[in-house]
Amino acid sequence: MTAANILLFMALCMGVVGVSMIGASIVLQNSIRKKKRICTLPVQAVVADLERSDNISMEGIRTVSWFPVYEYQVKGHIIRKRSNMGHTEQIFFTGQTVTIYVNPDNENEFYCPAEKNSKIQMIFLLLGSLLLVLTIGALAVYKMMKG
């Protein structure tokens, strides 16, 4: 395999990962927008618990995520629900009161503006864009090498 072919392979891999990250960013952004649109009922919730999730990557890097568990009341029902959004830092504490927005048609669906959902979406978008720029640069170098 020549250096040019290796460069082409790397460029294509970067491009696929970049497009995938941008796609994930778009899906996440649409999910956030949808939740904001349908979760309109403001409710006071208490952070009843913080669930810790330990993960070890294939490279052996250990990460910890914290998932807040909210307890809130809607239409006389007490609901206890874990957030789908984990955080690498403990941004909440047990007993903290936060305002969440609940879907009036589905009390188990909520949106918490205090969670930093848009941060990860922006990171995916920026990294994906950077990979695409690198892909374009690598393809330009490949074209010069070939010809």
Q: Could you read off the pLDDT of 1-59 as tens digits, one per residue?
A: 788 888 889 999 999 999 999 999 999 888 888 989 999 999 999 999 999 888 877 77
What's the pLDDT band for 134 if we cut at 50, 70, 90?
very high
pLDDT of residue 29: 86
Tell me 87's DSSP state.
B
The torsion angles phi and psi of 143, rounded to 5 degrees, stand at -60, -40
- Rounded CA separation 141/114 (Å): 45
pLDDT of residue 118: 64
- Left (φ > 0), alpha (ψ -120 to 50) or beta: where does 95 sit? left
Burial class (CB in 10 A: 0-12, 13-18, 19+), 60: exposed
CA within 13 Å, CB half, 83: 31
Nearest to 45 by CA among 15, 80, 9: 80
What are 42's two structure tokens?
Answer: 């403001």
pTM of the model: 0.71
What's the pLDDT band for 117 if we cut at 50, 70, 90?
low
- With helix as H, strand as E and coil as C, how does 24-63 read? HHHHHHHHHHHHHHHCCEEEEEEEEEEEEEEEECCCCCEE
